[in-house]
Structure formats: structure tokens, C-alpha cells
Structure 1
Amino acid sequence: MLTHLRIENFALIDNLALDFAGGLNVLTGETGAGKSIILDALDVVLGGRVSGAQVRTGAQRAVIEATFGPSAAIADWLAAQQIDSLEEGLVVVREISGKTNRARVNGVLVNQAVLRELREQLLEITAQGQSLQLEKPEVQLELLDNYGEIAPRRERFRQVYETLQRRKGELARKKAARDDRLQQLDLFRFQFEELSRAALDDPQEEEQLLADRSRLAHAVELQHNSLKLYEMLYEGALDQPAVTDLLGQSSELLIQMGEYDASLVPLGEMLENALVQVQECARAVNRYGETVESDPETLEYTEKRLRQLKNLRQKYGPTLADVIAHYRNLERDLAAIEGSGEDLEVEERELAGETRRATELAAELTRARTEAAGRLEGDLVRELAPLGMGKVRFAVRIEPSRLASSGADRVGFLWSPNPGEPLQPLTETASGGEMARFLLALKACLGGADRIATLVFDEIDVGVSGRVAQAVAEKLLQLGASHQVLCVTHQPLVAALADSHYRVHKAVLAEAGEERTVVRVETLNKTEARREELAQLVGGHSAHEALEFAGALLADADRRRSAVRP
């Protein structure tokens, strides 16, 4: 609910602050007094079009501030926008200058799209020729759902639908990933088979093969040198004793010397140990020489295997350990790719079941909407009859559409205001006055089911009088029981029923030696002030007659208000 509106330097308004209450709030005043400027400011602060020309002449900027009382819906919206709540509720401020304009919600800068989204939560302005929201099929659908109290069921469907869409998106991503992997499957299989044939399991195999190749390539030389070394160490030659013979002789000499000098005994022990090690080395060299054989076939295999490993390293390396790791990864990836098809088939079956469930819930929504449409058609025609539209035909067209978060229906409002004329889309054929009265009747049908808390009507009673004007007034009073209603009117019958009455007028002030016109608003709290304002609206009577008639209107309004709101 709108609780406060402050306007500074906007059009003819220099500085204006208004407090609003619940129920029916009426603004009256002479034509051109500035009533519509106030509604324009309310439109602008919630995202309406604006230009620098709307800034009051001589001012640098205009500021419009609207405060709305707290509610659960607004708290949820603020939380979704990550904007802090305020104790007073919601404060929207829009600043307008010649080149730029800024908007803030609870002190946070927001763009036009956010403002327009917020507007749909807070307020609806209905004026002659203005039916922007009702032109949208989704708005007509929501109105029907609100009327039929289908919104909770639609919310349950929305949750199912959004879960379904998420599952579809996840499955689509998995399929795309699978397709990408399948494109690599042949390559993976080729690589896997190549590495499988290579039978790799030892990352040090290449180093071992290099050692084997060196040994095999020099087998003859190794045999010859082994024999020669054995002779040098152990057997000796005709003209040269073996190393073991020399060590043995040296050891005996040190033992003899140790008999005379005990400090030489350790040296003798060292030679003895050396003799033992040389003897062991000689025997080991002899055994090695006996095992070394020239093997051309094994050498050829070793060379071939080394070439194979080098080729694999160049493809999948750089090291043999990297090649083995790649092989193991291929094995794992191939298992995942070949197994993913079965997993996706299970998910596809589950998704098909969820789709059927969503389709069934959408069909239930369609049936509920069809039933609600029939009731709305009858109720709306009855509400329009006293508004001077007794011959109206109205129908709600429900057509199938692609499954969406609101169901599988497209709703359209059709009507024929004159007998003999076919049903046509409402927003294409209704005049401004007809549309205003239609919306008034529609809001009366919705009652407390309408999620919009504040309804603004700008001179919707233009061109009606007598019985129709009284019906319009009673509809506005009825709406005031479930909504906050702001109404600009010239009808005394409407103004008399107001819970809060504001008189708008122009004043001329002296500013810097010049006369300037400004808009002023007076809250008419006292019965006498209201009676005088109603007398001005009545016109065409003597002052005395007008005042008496205005007093009678107020007395009758009290009775009607008590009847509507016991």
C-alpha cells in the first residue's frame, strides 16, 4: 500500500508531500488543477517514461519519492534482489535531470527493468486509453488464475516444471558431452589397442633395454676381456705373475716384517683382505665371461623394442611413465564412454516420466481454468450491467500452447459491447471509457484475490452520470474494502464515498520578483470542507442548493459505506 508520496520540482509541483491511507482515496479539483501531474509522478517513480522537460523550470533536477508499507510479497522480492528491507517498508526514489535520471530502491541503484518488475508487484494505474498491462496474454492468464484461486496449484506446477527443465538441461549437457566423447572413441580405441599390443608395464624398461643392447653388441669384446682380466688377476702369464701371486708374496713379506715391528701387522691384514677380494673378483669375472654369448636374434629384438618404445614416447610421452599413464587413462575413459549410454537411457526414461507428470498437471490446470473461465464470464457480465454496459458479451478463450512455467494454456479476453457484433479481443476493440469500466468490473470480480494492493483510476467516470455514475462509485467503494484505491474524479457521487479526500488546486507565488504557478494539495478532513468541495463539483445549482445536495451526498455515502463495510 502507498503510504507516502513526496514530489519535488516536477512539472508545476515545487514541493509536495502526501500521506495516503487504505480504502478509497479521492483527488478532486478543477480541470487543469494538477491532479494528473500527481499520478504522472507516481507513474514515473515506478519506471514510467520521463524526460528532462518534466523538471520544473529553473530547477536542476526533480525528485520523486514513494513509500510503500511492508508486506510478505515485497519482502520476498527484496530478498530475491538482494536489497535490504527497511522498517517503513519500501522506499523508491527517482531523480530526474536534463540528461540523466537515477532510481533507487531502499537506497540501492536499480535499472528501469527492475523498476517495472517492482511496479507489477505494487500498483496498477488505469486511465482512459491506458490498458498496457491487460494487453499482455500472461496478465490475462494471471487474472483468471487469481479469480479462480488457481495460483497455489499453478505454483506447484511451476516447481515441477522448473525441476523438469533443469533435468532436461542436465541431460542435454550430458548428451553433448557424450557426443563429444563418441567423436573421440575411434581414436581412443586405436590408441588403446596400440598400447595394449605394446604390453607396457615397467617405466624403466627402456633403460634396461639400452643396457641389454650395449652388452649384446659388445659380447665378443666382453668375452675376450673377461678371459684376459681373469688371467691377469688369477692365472698370470709365462713372463708375468698374476695379481693374486704378487699380493700373496707381498702379504708374506709384511708378515715377516711384522715380527720385528708390530705396527706393520695391520698392513699385513689389509693385504690379506685385498688378496681375498681380488680372488673373488677374478672368479666373478671368470663366471661372467662364461655367461656372455653373442646372440644376434636377441640383439635384433632389443633394437626393435627400443624403436617401438621411442615411437610411443614421441606420440604419448615424453617419458615411458607418461605413456603408461596415458594407457591407463584411455582404459578408464573407454569404460566411461561405453558405459555412459546405459546411464543416459535410464535418465531419459526418468525424464519421460517427469514430462508425463508435468503434462498431467498442466491438463489439471487447464480444466480448472476452463471451470473458472465460465464463472468469470457470468460474474463479469453481471458486474458490467449496472455500469451502463448491460448488453455486453464476454468470453475467456483458452487455447493450447507449448508447455511453460504457467502451464500449457494461452488465455485471451474477448468481448462484444454491442448486440449483433462478434466477439473481438478486448484490448483491440474497447474504447477508453469501456476499458476503464471493464477493468473496474474485473477488479470487483477479483476482490481480495488480486495481488496488486494499490489501484489507481484516473477519471474513469468521465462521460457517465446518474445511475451509471452511482454504480461506478459503489464499485470503487467495494474495491476499497480489499484494496487501496486512488481515484481522480469529477463526479460528486464518487468523491462523497471517499475514505480520504484530497483537493488539488493551483496557486500563484512570487519567486525572485516573478509570479510562478505551483500545485497544492489540501487534505479535507472536516465534513464542512468536504461539503464545500462537493458543492463545487455539483455546479449548476445555487450555492445553497449545492451545499444542501453535497450534505445529502455525504449522509447517503455514510449509509452506503456502512452497508458495504459493516
Structure 2
Amino acid sequence: MLRHLEIRDMLIIAHLDLEFRDGLNVLTGETGAGKSILLDSLGFVLGWRGRAELVRKGAEQGEVTAVFDLPEGHPAHALLAEAGLPGGSELILRRVNTRDGRKTAFINDRRASGEVLRALSATLVELHGQQDDGGLLNERGHRALLDAFAGHDALLDATRAAWAERARAAKALRAAEAARDAIRAEEEFLRHAVGELDQLDPQPGEEARLDAERRLMQGAEKIRSDVARALSALGPEGAEGAMRDADRWLQGAADRAEGRLDAPLTSLERALIELGEAAQGVEDALDALSFDPHALDACEERLFAIRGLARKHGVLPDDLGGFAADLRARLAALDASEGDIAKLQKQVAEAGARFDAAATALSAARAEAATRLDAAMAQELAPLKMERAVFATSFSAGEPGPEGIDTVAFTVATNPGAPAGPLNKIASGGELSRFLLALKVVLSKGADALVMIFDEIDRGVGGATADAVGRRLATLAAGAQVLVVTHSPQVAARGGHHFRVQKSVSDGMTTSEVVALPPEARRDEIARMISGAEVTEAARAAADDLLRG
């Protein structure tokens, strides 16, 4: 509920401080008094797009503050939480417009964007007028309105879930087909590359080992002769033979040397052991340096093959094995893709069938609800003096989507036998007002969380029809808060709370103000609406009749 509205320095409003209550709040006043400015100011604080120049002449900035009561469960609570804004049972919106055009919004005293403000306003206020293109006249919203009237949320949820399942299955199928097609485009390359890699079968660390062997073989011929000479020098014809002769000679002399040769003999034995080990190592090295000349060719051929494949595929030689495994996996995926795609196609078909079933059930429920809506509209149109008009909810096949397969449009025929058409194409201004009001009354179930504003929706009607409009607005306000800008005394008389918008001129400056009317002043205002500028006793008597209802 809109509880409080404060306006400072907006257009011709210097300062207004208004308290609203639930039920039917009516705003009246002469043409040009500033009623539209009041709505423009409310729209400004709600983030709606409107006039570019709003700041009152001579002021540095204009400011509007609106205070709403938020009951538990109101959808605004979720929006506030999502935006990280403070919540509570009271919502304070404030928006400032400077003279240079800069606009700043605050929600519960926290700086907020215009986007968040507009999202919140959609949960707070609903504006209706004769040019209500964004509301009931917008065919794109008729299906949602019919669903809200029908109350078949379970069917809608089932259809949305089935659509989401179908969409997921279709997405998985498209991804699998795209992956298959991408691999298929390079299948020839993959099979050739895998064949090369499998034939070569490079192993981790092999390139480094082959490189070391190649360098060893390349250098072996240069050092082999020196190693052979060294082995000969160490062997029986060289150092080993001389040391064994020395050992034999010393062993023969040791008995007569009184122990003096024991230590040298021990050292010599150790030296012979070390010499044998050295000779064996040199002999092993010589054997290693002995190779078949063809082995060098084979080593180089394999080394160059490994390096060539690594350069070709842009990987390190040690990574060729892993690269080959990746290519084999892609080929395996291609070979298995047809079976996987067939499974996914089956899943898509099954999900599609479930969606079709859910959408068909929803369509049947909509058709039944449309019959009830059309009947309810007929009952509402009769009191509005449009008993000859026909309201019909039309169906046509639409693009399948999360809300089903139906395109829904509200159509009217204003006279028997006349062709039906869209509301805003067929109905005149006064007829359109009454159609919109009847629709709002019928569709208002569950709308008590919204403040409904009707801007001169009774324009073009009078007498008994205006009275019927007033009664319908009062009915609508029984479970909600309704604000009505009206020139009709019959409508004004139905208000629970009456405000008059009036202009005054002081020191050459025109300002607009809004005053809450007590009973006697209200009587005079309705009398003015009946008779014009001069309020007569007859007009006051007529006002009394209207107020008694």
C-alpha cells in the first residue's frame, strides 16, 4: 500500500505531503490543476520514463519520496534481497532530479540504480488509462493474464519443467552432433597421425636416450684407440705384468727381510686389486665403444623421426605418447558418436513427447478458463451499459515455449454481428475505458499487493454508465488500494478518501497543491463537478444523492 507521498519542487508543485489509505482514493480538480503532474511525480520516484524537465523553475533540484507498506510475502522482499538492499515492513523510495538532468535514486536510504527501482515498481504499482498500451492492451501479456485468472500454476510448472528438459536434451544433442562433425572433418588426419604414432611408438625419455647414444657413437671412434692402448698398458703386458713380477720377487725375498717387506707386499696386493678393477672398467668401456656402424644410422633415423613428429604436431618429444592417446580418444569418440547421438535423439523425442503432453493439458485448461473469463466479462460489461458487446478470448497456435504452445489475445465486438478485433482497434475511448475496467475487476484476484492507479479511465462516459464505473472501482478497491484521477462526480462519490488538486498564483508564481477533503468540502467539490464553476443548491442536493449512493 502507498502510505505516504512527498513532492518537493517538481514542475509547479512547491511542496506536497500526502497520506493515502487503503480502499478507493479519488483525486479531482479542474483541468490543468496539476493532477497529471502528481502522477508524473509518482512515476518519477518509481523510475518510470516520463518528462525530461521536472524541476520547478527557480529550484536547484526536485525530489519525490514515496513510502509503501510491505506485507509478508510481498514480491518486493525478494527483489530487495537480490539487490542487497535493506528490507522490512516499510519501503522508502526517494529520487532526486537536479536542474542539469542528473537523477539519483535511494531505496531505504541506500543508493540504487534506476533498473532496480523499475523492477521494484512493477511489484508495487499498476497504472491504467485509456492509452494503456503497456498493460491490458498489450497482447503479449494476455496469456499470462489468462493463466493468472485460471490459477493452474501446477500445469504451468509442469509445462515449464518439460520445456526445460526438452531444451537440455536438445542442447546435449546439438553439442554431440557438433563434436562429431568437428572430429569427422579431421578424421583423415586423425587416422593418419595415429597410424604414424602407433608405428613409431615413441616412449617417454627415449629422445634423450637416443641423443646420448648418438653422441656416444659419434665420438667413440675418436677415443677407442686411446682406450685400447690404455687397456694394453694396464694388462699383463703392461702394468699388471710388472706388478706381478715385483710381487713374485718380493715374496721370495720376504723370508730373509725380517718382516721389513710385509707392509709393501700388503700395499702391492691392494694395488693389484685396484688395478684389476680399473682394467675391467676400461675393458667394459672399450666394449661399449665397439658398435656396428649400422647402429648409428638406426639410432639417428629413429631420433630424427621422433623429433620430426614432435615438430609436426607442435609438442615436446616426451609428450608424443600422451598426444597419441588424445588422438585415439577423439577417434574413439567419433566411432562411438553415432550410438551416443542415437541415444540423445531418443531422449529428445521422449522429452518432446512429455512437453507436448504437458502443453496440450495446459491448452485444454486455458480453453476452459477462457470460457469462464468470457462469461465473467459478460457479467461485468452489462452493468457498464455494454450488454450488447461481446468479449472473447481467442486462441491460435504459437511458437512452442516454456509457457506452452498457445497464442492468446483478448478480442471484442462492440455490436452484435460486428467483427471482433483487438481491444485498442475496435473500442472507442469510452468503450475502451469500460472494457479495461471490467477486465481489471475480473482479473484482480490476487492483485491486492499492487496499488492500482486509474488515470481518467472514466473519460467519455457519464450518467448511469459513470455510476456503474464508480461502483466497479469501489468493488475493485474493496480488497486493494486504488487511486483514481477522475472528472466524473459519480466516480468521485464512490471514493473512500477524496483529494482535490488545485492551483494558486502568488507573486506571479503558479503552484499546485493537493488537499484532503473533509465531508462538507467533499460535498462542495462533487457539486462543483456537477454544475461547473458556480455551485448551486441544486448541485449540492445532487451531490448529496450521489454520496448517499
Q: What TM-score comes out, normalization by structure 1 length?
A: 0.84
Q: Tell me what 2:436 maps to.
A: 439
% identical equivalent positions: 32
Match of 1:203 among 195, 202, 205: 205
Q: Tell me what 1:527 maps to.
A: 519
Partners of 1:12 and 1:520 in 2: CA distance: 9
Q: Tell me what 2:122 maps to.
A: 120
Contact kept, 8 Å, 2:448 with 2:481, in 1: the verdict is no
Give the superposition deviation at 1:442.
Answer: 0.7
Q: How does 1:162-181 map to 2 (within 5 A)?
A: 162-181=164-183
Please, which runs of 5 or more residues in structure 1 have no aligned partner? Answer: 237-241, 557-566
Change in CA separation of 1:35 and 1:306 when aligned onto 2, cut-off 3 Å:
closer
2:8 matched to 1:8? yes
Q: Residues 374-401 of structure 1, C-alpha deviation per residue, up to 9 Å, x if partnerless?
A: 2222221221122122221222111111
The DSSP-based 3-state class of the residue aligned with 1:65 is strand
Give the superposition deviation at 1:261.
Answer: 9.6
Q: How many residues align?
A: 544
Letter in 1 for 2:112: L
Change in CA separation of 1:245 and 1:363 when aligned onto 2, cut-off 3 Å:
same
Contact kept, 8 Å, 1:384 with 1:392, in 2: the verdict is yes
Match of 2:81 among 72, 79, 91: 79
Contact kept, 8 Å, 2:250 with 2:261, in 1: the verdict is yes
Contact kept, 8 Å, 2:527 with 2:539, in 1: the verdict is yes
Q: How does 1:105-504 map to 2 (within 5 A)?
A: 105-106=107-108, 107-111=110-114, 114-201=116-203, 203-204=205-206, 207-208=209-210, 211=213, 214=216, 222=224, 231-236=232-237, 242-251=238-247, 266-279=263-276, 281-282=278-279, 295-316=292-313, 319-450=316-447, 453-504=450-501
Q: Tell me what 1:37 maps to.
A: 37
Contact kept, 8 Å, 2:429 with 2:459, in 1: the verdict is no
2:509 matched to 1:516? yes
Partners of 2:384 and 2:37 in 1: CA distance: 27
Q: Residues 94-129 of structure 1, C-alpha deviation per residue, up to 9 Å, x if partnerless?
A: 535343334444434323x55544443322222234
Letter in 1 for 2:55: V
Deviates more, 1:367-376 or 1:43-52: 43-52
Q: Residues 403-457 of structure 1, C-alpha deviation per residue, up to 9 Å, x if partnerless?
A: 1222211111211213442112212232222211111111111232447622111
Partners of 2:276 and 2:141 in 1: CA distance: 107
Partners of 2:284 and 2:80 in 1: CA distance: 91
Match of 2:546 among 531, 549, 553: 553
Give the root-mean-square deviation of aligned CA atoms.
Answer: 3.4
Contact kept, 8 Å, 1:128 with 1:459, in 2: the verdict is yes
Partners of 2:83 and 2:287 in 1: CA distance: 89
Change in CA separation of 1:35 and 1:305 when aligned onto 2, cut-off 3 Å:
closer
Partners of 1:35 and 1:87 in 2: CA distance: 29
Letter in 2 for 1:79: A
The DSSP-based 3-state class of the residue aligned with 1:448 is coil
Partners of 1:488 and 1:451 in 2: CA distance: 19
Contact kept, 8 Å, 2:528 with 2:535, in 1: the verdict is no
Contact kept, 8 Å, 2:29 with 2:35, in 1: the verdict is yes
Change in CA separation of 1:122 and 1:376 when aligned onto 2, cut-off 3 Å:
same
Letter in 2 for 1:529: A
Partners of 2:204 and 2:417 in 1: CA distance: 95
Partners of 1:129 and 1:285 in 2: CA distance: 107
Give the superposition deviation at 1:370.
Answer: 1.2
Contact kept, 8 Å, 2:33 with 2:501, in 1: the verdict is yes
Partners of 1:208 and 1:52 in 2: CA distance: 81
Contact kept, 8 Å, 2:33 with 2:502, in 1: the verdict is yes
Q: Residues 349-395 of structure 1, C-alpha deviation per residue, up to 9 Å, x if partnerless?
A: 22322222122111112111111112222221221122122221222
Deviates more, 1:463-472 or 1:179-188: 179-188
Q: Tell me what 1:239 maps to.
A: none
Please, which runs of 5 or more residues in structure 2 have no aligned partner? Answer: none
Q: Residues 244-266 of structure 1, C-alpha deviation per residue, up to 9 Å, x if partnerless?
A: 23223444677769987989855
The DSSP-based 3-state class of the residue aligned with 1:519 is strand
Give the superposition deviation at 1:18.
Answer: 1.4
Q: What TM-score comes out, normalization by structure 2 length?
A: 0.87
